[in-house]
């Protein structure tokens, strides 16, 4: 339990760690948590978010969201914005799985229509979407096409018959982040990534059939904007990222920055906070490569969604368009982006790092698709496979307080090894089936590691961010079918 005696309580769910807490802090740290969540947070979160506050060029605050737990350098659930001239970029502030993110697709099916077909759907999607150790995707592209994927993400998909016309506009940044530089991506990263499009990976990544929970349908009018109109409507969620490609980019540049810091006179308290000035050659090179990986991840999720549409179409003998399987939205939760924000009376571009945190733009922002612009950006926060997930909406308060950022998921409370000691995968699978959730996993060990008891209570995480006014709950989504790698 962290020592919170010196923290200043700003509100019921916002705590400030002053700069006097640790020598070198340039800004305070702000933690979004109920007292219960804060007291349960591992001490590593406080250590890491206050280390983060020491990085050159950081503006306003270092942030830890309600789902925060310690990570490599930045905490998971960490957010920090940097002046683009004087600030740094840090691979640890993005994460190895660059653009790990969430995608949500709707259907016009009700649960009664789907209930008896869940097993068939899950088994079919398990065949269509490779998951697990060393899997390769079915999409075969040339190296030149892969470079186009790195540059244009979902826009490339749309130009190559792999997306519907309105898919790109329903993805953060319009389906690709500008500034990709494939020449900054190593041969190893390219080799790892070129065959991985359309694959799920493993760990906490999943593909899940969900149903609107009528007992937690908070804002039906807002949900209508997203095409969620029925209390038992079926949706599908995808959680995955840039796979080995992004990881190799992260590994490559962690080594580069480790060596580069001395040259720029930067010292950090934690080697995993290795960074370089954003304006430096190393900083620009990493950004160019990171954007390639982010766009690859958008493409990966897009190719997976095409397979999901194919599976539903096959099982229900109707076109996916007839099933209204449009994309609600796709969000990143591991990325660094140049964004324009207003803070301290100034409207300026800053480099926002979100590591295990989600963008939460409020109403009116031009990057929000037109159908949603009046209400705010959809925010998808994923829970464990036992507890389900939430759809929320971004707010003006998020723009004012957290550089338009909110939490991303539950956050782990238990290590993988400890989880496997507590529960057996086969037993967990059986118990989940009894509760109406059919899970198919590439490995039983992987399943046990992802048991719900290894995660924080997502409802409390989501409630915290809602009370803080950072993201507003729209609807809870309960799982009925799940695929794990």
Q: Catalytic residues, which ones? A: 408
Farthest CA pair distance, the chain: 64
The per-residue b/e assignment along 157-183, b for 16 or more CB within 10 angstroms, e otherwise, is bbeeebbbeebbbbbbbbbbbebbbbe
Least separation in angstroms between residue 72's CB and other proteins is 5
259 CB contacts (<8 Å, ≥6 apart)?
none
Question: Which one, 247 or 440, has the nearer CB to other proteins?
Answer: 247
Least separation in angstroms between residue 4's CB and other proteins is 21
Residues lying near other proteins in the complex (CB under 8 A): 42, 69-72, 76, 96-97, 132-136, 188, 191-192, 195-196, 201-204, 243-244, 247-248, 250-251, 254-255, 258, 271-272, 274, 412-418, 421, 442-443, 445-446, 449, 485
> Could you tell me the CA-to-CA distances from 280 to 23, 59, 74, 82, 206 in Å, in that order?
26, 19, 21, 14, 37
Residue with tokens 């906490």: 204
Question: Which one, 418 or 426, has the nearer CB to other proteins?
Answer: 418
Least separation in angstroms between residue 443's CB and other proteins is 6
Question: Which one, 231 or 258, has the nearer CB to other proteins?
Answer: 258
Six-digit token pair at 408? Answer: 């991303």
Q: In terms of residues, how long is the chain? A: 485
Question: Which one, 110 or 443, has the nearer CB to other proteins?
Answer: 443
Nearest-angstrom CA–CA distance, 437 and 458: 18
CB 88 within 8 A of CB 277: yes
483 CB contacts (<8 Å, ≥6 apart)?
122, 125, 126, 129, 131, 200, 206, 207, 208, 439, 440, 441
Q: What is the DSSP string of 62-109?
A: EEEEEEEE--SSSPEEEEEEEETTT-EE-GGGT-SSTT-EEEEEEEEE
Question: Which one, 109 or 135, has the nearer CB to other proteins?
Answer: 135
Least separation in angstroms between residue 474's CB and other proteins is 27
Least separation in angstroms between residue 201's CB and other proteins is 6
Question: Which one, 86 or 415, has the nearer CB to other proteins?
Answer: 415
Task: Give the strand pairing for 471-484 and 206-217.
Answer: antiparallel
Question: Which one, 351 or 442, has the nearer CB to other proteins?
Answer: 442
- How open is the CA angle 336-68-46, to the nearest 5 degrees? 100
- Radius of gyration of the chain from its Cα atoms, rounded to whole angstroms: 21
Least separation in angstroms between residue 59's CB and other proteins is 26
Question: Which one, 257 or 329, has the nearer CB to other proteins?
Answer: 257
Least separation in angstroms between residue 255's CB and other proteins is 7
How many CA within 13 A on the CB side of residue 328? 29
Least separation in angstroms between residue 68's CB and other proteins is 11
Nearest-angstrom CA–CA distance, 324 and 241: 25
Nearest-angstrom CA–CA distance, 314 and 319: 8
Q: What is the DSSP string of 377-397?
A: -EEEEB--TTT-EEEEEE-HH
- How open is the CA angle 326-358-118, to the nearest 5 degrees? 40
């Amino acid at each position: 339990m962290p020592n919170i005696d010196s923290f200043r309580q700003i509100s019921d769910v916002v705590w400030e760690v002053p700069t006097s807490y640790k020598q070198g802090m340039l800004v305070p740290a702000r933690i979004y948590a109920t007292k219960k969540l804060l007291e349960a947070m591992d001490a590593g979160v406080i250590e890491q978010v206050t280390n983060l506050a020491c990085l050159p060029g950081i503006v306003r605050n270092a942030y830890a969201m309600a789902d925060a737990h310690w990570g490599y350098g930045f905490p998971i659930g960490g957010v920090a914005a940097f002046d683009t001239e004087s600030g740094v970029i840090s691979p640890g502030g993005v994460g190895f799985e660059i653009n790990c993110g969430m995608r949500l697709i709707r259907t016009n099916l009700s649960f009664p229509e789907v209930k008896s077909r869940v097993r068939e759907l899950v088994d079919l999607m398990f065949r269509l979407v490779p998951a697990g150790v060393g899997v390769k995707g079915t999409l075969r592209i040339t190296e030149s096409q892969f470079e186009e994927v790195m540059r244009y993400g979902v826009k490339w998909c749309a130009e190559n018959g792999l997306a519907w016309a309105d898919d790109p506009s329903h993805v953060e940044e319009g389906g690709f982040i500008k500034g990709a530089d494939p020449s900054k991506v190593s041969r190893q990263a390219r080799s790892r990534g070129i065959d991985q499009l359309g694959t799920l990976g493993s760990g906490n990544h999943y593909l899940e059939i969900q149903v609107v929970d009528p007992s937690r349908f908070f804002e039906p009018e807002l949900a209508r904007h997203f095409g969620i109109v029925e209390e038992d409507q079926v949706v599908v969620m995808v959680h995955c990222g840039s796979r080995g490609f992004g990881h190799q980019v992260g590994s490559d540049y962690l080594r580069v920055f480790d060596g580069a810091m001395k040259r720029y006179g930067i010292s950090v308290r934690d080697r995993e906070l290795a960074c370089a000035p954003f304006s430096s050659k190393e900083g620009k090179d990493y950004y160019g490569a990171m954007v390639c990986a982010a766009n690859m991840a958008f493409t990966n999720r897009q190719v997976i969604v095409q397979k999901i549409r194919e599976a539903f179409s096959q099982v229900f003998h109707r076109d996916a368009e007839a099933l209204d399987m449009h994309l609600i939205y796709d969000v990143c939760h591991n990325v660094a982006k140049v964004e324009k924000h207003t803070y301290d009376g100034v409207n300026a571009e800053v480099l926002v790092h979100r590591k295990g945190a989600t963008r939460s733009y409020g109403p009116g922002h031009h990057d929000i698709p037109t159908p949603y612009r009046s209400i705010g950006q959809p925010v998808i926060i994923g829970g464990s496979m036992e507890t389900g997930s939430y759809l929320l909406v971004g707010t003006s308060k998020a723009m004012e307080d957290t550089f338009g950022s909110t939490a991303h998921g539950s956050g782990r409370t238990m290590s993988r090894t400890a989880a496997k000691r507590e529960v057996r995968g086969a037993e967990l699978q059986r118990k989940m089936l009894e509760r109406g959730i059919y899970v198919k996993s590439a490995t039983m060990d992987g399943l046990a590691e992802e048991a719900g008891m290894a995660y924080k209570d997502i409802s409390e995480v989501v409630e915290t961010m809602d009370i803080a006014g950072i993201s507003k709950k729209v609807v809870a989504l309960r799982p009925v079918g799940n695929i794990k790698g």
